[in-house]
Amino acid sequence: MKNNNKGQMEMSVGTIVTIVLLVTLLILGVVLIKNIFTSAKGVVDLTDQQLRSQISQLFSSEDRTSIYPGTRLLEINQESTDGVGIGIKNLLTGTAGTSTFSYSVSAADVSNCGVTKTVAESWIVVGKSESNIAIASGDIASRKVLFNIPVGAPLCTARYSVTVSTSDGTTYASDYFDITIKAK
């Protein structure tokens, strides 16, 4: 009877140690995944070369535009500044040298935010539009669009559209991204 109790006690201790180790590994895994995702989103701290490198990785052979982060979703806290990267790839056929492009960012769907498109566009502090972007044939240009979300902005998700045009005003490509506003 005494040996049986000792065996049961050893098994219980072993089970508890195993559970503690597994929970610890699970917590470490969750922290690691969180760190990977939070470090991969944020354009503000990226240099132009780093942004260009990140955007270049998102392009496939036929893509004319690319949005960074690749998820097309940016979470921004109120009273914070963050942004997205826009990449434009010159795939115009029949042209040699460089071509000139322009882009503009506008609020596309803010219906669940309870604000007007004008208010949603006022959150863009840098990079709302740019013209005269010279891009060599087959090359890529990248730009940052920075948002500053004020305190009091609604906690919601808004969609923004990006329209890229050639020098003659013809629409070259269009794309979109979403921002989700979180509490500060």
CB neighbourhood size of 143 (10 A): 22
- Mean pLDDT to the nearest integer, 168-179: 93
- At 183, is the secondary structure helix, strand, or coil? coil
- pLDDT greater than 80 at residue 171: yes
Residue that wins the pLDDT comparison between 134 and 6: 134
Q: What is the CATH number of the domain that holds 157?
A: 2.60.40.10
* Burial annotation 48-70 (CB, 10 A radius, 16+ → b, else e): eeebbebbeeeeeeeebbbbbbe
Assessment of whether the complete model's pTM goes beyond 0.75: no
Give me the pLDDT at residue 76, please. Answer: 92
Count of other CB atoms within 10 angstroms of residue 87:
24
* Residue 69 sits in the same domain as residue 94: yes
Average pLDDT over residues 80-88: 91
Mean per-residue pLDDT of the chain: 85
Please tell me the predicted confidence (pLDDT) of residue 184.
83
Residues 12 and 50 reside in one and the same domain = no
Domain hosting residue 59, numbered range: 46-182
- Are 97 and 166 in a shared domain? yes
Question: 38 vs 159, which has greater pLDDT?
Answer: 159
Q: 91 with 51, same domain?
A: yes
Q: Are 104 and 62 in contact (CB under 8 A)?
A: no
**Which positions ≥6 away from 141 have C-beta within 8 Å?**
87, 88, 90, 101, 133, 134, 135
**Structure confidence by residue, pLDDT tens digits, 112-131:** 999 999 999 999 999 999 99
Give phi and psi for 29, each to the nearest 5: -65, -45
Do both 77 and 106 map to the same domain? yes
Q: Within this chain, do residues 85 and 5 fall inside the same structural domain, yes or no?
A: no
Residue 1: predicted pLDDT: 54
**99 and 72 both lie in a single domain:** yes
Q: Does 133 share its domain with 67?
A: yes
- pLDDT score for 177: 94
Both 34 and 60 in one domain: the answer is no
Tokens of 4: 């049986």
130, 65, 51, 149 alpha-carbon torsion, rounded to 10°? 60
Query: Between these two residues, 58 and 179, which has the higher pLDDT value?
Result: 179
Identify whether residues 18 and 67 lie together within a single domain: no
CA distance 77 to 155: 9
Asked if residue 110 and residue 79 are part of one domain, the reply reads yes
- Domains in the chain, number: 2
Indicate if 119 and 35 belong to the same structural domain. Answer: no
Which phi and psi (to 5°) does residue 153 adopt?
-65, 145
- In this structure, the strands spanning 65-68 and 73-77 are unpaired
Query: DSSP 3-state assignment of 132?
Result: strand
CA–CA distance, 154 with 82 (Å, rounded to integer): 17
